[in-house]
Structure 1
Amino acid sequence: MRIITGRARGLSLTVPKTYDVRPTADRVKESLFNIIGSKIIGAKVLDLFAGTGNLGLESWSRGAAAITFIDESKESLRLVKSNIAKCRAEADCTVIKGSAPMIAERLAAQGQRFDFAFCDPPYNKGWVQQIVAVLERSPFLAAGGYLIVERSAHDPLPPLPPTCELVRGSRYGETAVDFILWRG
């Protein structure tokens, strides 16, 4: 797994030794960031289920201004911190241990709003539904921000609140990626 382009282009990220973390495949990540394009420059990004930090660090490499990583796993947070150090991105990154839905709700209560939030949780465990529910009651996205969901193609996207619009959905084999616009 590597950073595809930008200031850390080609840098190999540390990956887990176990299969508890499922990093986003390079081809899926490349397609995702081709869709986002230059909107990532200067953006405030939330990586809800950070894993290795792959999506957040690709955002940083492409010009995002600030990245907040959330994960419950000590091992994942160790990987995230190691990869942030490899990229020399410490000044622009915040790492928080805890449940992604609870932390997202807390950040919203503090008035924090993000331009992009990546939601790439363990598949088929109800996490996407929980994040969409949090977004509806405690918006953590800025108006015009995007929740980008990576999920199993067999796990349907939950019903979206009226303030959200599914603007694009793509399938890559067994993986589905949805771009959800928060109109706020």
Structure 2
Amino acid sequence: MRIIAGSRRSLPLKTIPGLSTRPTTDKTKETLFNCMQAEIYGCYFLDLFAGSGQIGLEAMSRGAEYAVFIEKDKKAAACIEDNIRFTKFEKETKLINKDVLYALSELEGRYRFDIIFMDPPYNHDLEKEVLIRLKDSSLLKEDGMIVIEASLDTDFSYLDELGYEIRKQKIYKTNTHIFIERKNV
């Protein structure tokens, strides 16, 4: 696993062994960042269920101004910390080793993000819980975007009733990226 573009291009990143995380492949990551590239430069980026931190670090390498990583698992958080140190992004990042919903409450009123990315464990409806929490939150800027990596069978039929709309969707063999934003009221 590595950073694929930007100022830290080709730097290898650590990942935690085992099946507790699903590192995004280079090809999928390339497609993801091609879809977001116009919004990355100078943005504040929030990486939820951050795993190894590779998505937030890729955003930083491509010109994001600041990234916050939230990861509950202690081994994964230690891996993120190592990757942040190795890529020399200590001053432009923050790592929070807590449950995502609890951490979002802590961040409220202190940060505003242009992009919120989440790759929660599949088939636990955690993306819905996070979207409910973000619905009336000030964490997402007015014109901000939420990107969700999810399994192909994840139900997003509730987005409309929560006040979100799909901007675009990329479908891969085993998963999808859904780009959503708040509806203009």
Shift in alpha-carbon separation, 1:162–1:127, aligned structure 2, 3 A: closer
Match of 2:104 in 1: 104
Secondary structure class of the residue paired with 1:137: coil
TM, length-normalised to structure 1: 0.94
- The corresponding residue for 2:140 is 141
Taking the aligned partners of 1:55 and 1:172, their CA distance within structure 2 comes to 17
Q: Kindly state the Cα deviation for residue 103 of structure 1 after the two structures are TM-superposed.
A: 1.3
Q: TM-score, length-normalised on structure 2?
A: 0.94
Once residues 35 and 104 of structure 1 are traced to their aligned partners in structure 2, the CA distance between those partners, rounded to angstroms, is 25
| 1:151 lines up with 2:150 in the alignment | yes
- Is residue 123 of structure 1 aligned with residue 122 of structure 2? yes
1:9 matched to which residue of 2? 9
2:91 is matched with which residue?
91
* 2:103 partner amino acid: I
Q: Output the CA distance in 2 between the equivalents of 1:39 and 1:46.
A: 13
Distance in 2, Cα, partners of 1:163 & 1:171: 23
Q: CA RMSD in A?
A: 1.4
- Secondary structure of 1:67 counterpart: strand
Cα contact 1:144–1:183 (8 A) shared by 2: no
- Please state how far the C-alpha of 1:164 moved relative to its aligned partner: 2.0
1:39 deviates by 1.6
- Cα separation, 1, equivalents of 2:84 and 2:105: 24
Q: Aligned partners of 2:81 and 2:110: how far apart in 1?
A: 25
Using the TM superposition, give the Cα deviation of residue 16 of structure 1 relative to its aligned residue in structure 2, in angstroms.
1.2
**Which runs of 4 or more aligned residues in structure 1 lie more than 6 Å from their structure 2 counterparts after TM superposition?**
none
Partner of 2:169: 169
Report deviation, 1:23. 1.1
Residues 122 and 150 in structure 2, CA contact (< 8 A), matched pair in contact too: yes
Q: Secondary structure at the match of 2:135?
A: helix
Counterpart position of 1:69: 69
- The structural deviation recorded for 1:42 is 0.5
Name the aligned partner's letter for residue 133 of structure 2: V
Partner of 2:181: 181
Give me the whole-angstrom Cα distance separating, in 1, the residues matched to 2:76 and 2:162. 34
Q: Percent identity?
A: 33
1:151: Cα distance to partner?
0.3
Q: Provide structure 1 residue ranges, at least 5 long, that are not aligned to the other structure.
A: none
> Contact (CA 8 Å) 2:132, 2:162: kept in 1 or not?
no
Shifted more, 31-40 versus 154-163: the winner is 154-163
Give the Cα–Cα distance (whole angstroms) in 2 for the partners of residues 39 and 120 of structure 1: 19
